[in-house]
Amino acid sequence: MSQDKATLDAKTVAKIAHLARIKVPEEEQAHLADELNKLLGWVEQLGEVDTDGVEPMTSVAAQTLRRRPDQVTDGGYPDAVVLNATDAAEHFFSVPKVVE
């Protein structure tokens, strides 16, 4: 598993933070890079395990997902849906302007 491994620098941390939509102040980036590198270095040990021909395990539930008739079984309570919104107008969630 040597392919595609990179050592994270502050710039990559900034990129991951952006992908995760988490603000990380610039002064914390180097420290965080160090921490993440230690963790990623530690998980490198998985490379020792022979996994040729092994199917990746996504779930322990040995079942195919259940199906049900395509019918509406829930809903019809907009008040409850917006109950916890910081900023709800009528039955809408309000957000800052997205399109100029």
Partner 1 sequence: MTNLTHLSMSEALDGLKKKEFTAVELTEAYVKAVEAARPLNAFITETPEIALDQAKASDARYAAGTNGPMDGMPLGIKDLFCTKGVLTTAASHILDGFKPAYESTITANLFRDGAVMLGKLNLDEFAMGSANITSYYGPVLNPWTGKDPAAADRKLVPGGSSGGSAASVSGRFAIAATGTDTGGSIRQPASFTGIVGLKPTYGRCSRWGTIAFASSLDQAGPMTRTVRDAAIMLQSMAGFDPKDSTSVDMPVPDFQAALTGDIRGLRVGIPKEYRVEGMPAEIERVWQQGIEWLKAAGAVPVEISLPHTKYALATYYVVAPAECSSNLARYDGVRFGLRVEGKDLKEMYENTRGEGFGKEVRRRIMIGTYVLSAGYYDAYYLKAQKVRARIAEDFAKAYEQCDVILTPTAPSTAFAIGEKQDDPISMYLNDVFTVPASLAGLPGISVPAGLAADGLPLGLQILGRPFDEVTLLRVAGVMEQAAGAQPLPPFCR
Site residues (vs partner 1, CB under 8 A): 1, 3-6, 8, 13, 16-24, 32, 35-36, 38-40, 42-43, 45-49, 51, 54-61, 63, 65-66, 68, 77, 80-87, 93, 95-98
DSSP 33: H
92: Cβ contacts below 8 Å, ≥ 6 apart? 82
Q: Minimum distance between the CB of residue 70 and partner 1, rounded to whole angstroms?
A: 15
Q: Minimum distance between the CB of residue 11 and partner 1, rounded to whole angstroms?
A: 13
Task: Give the span between the Cα atoms of 57 and 44, in whole angstroms.
Answer: 19
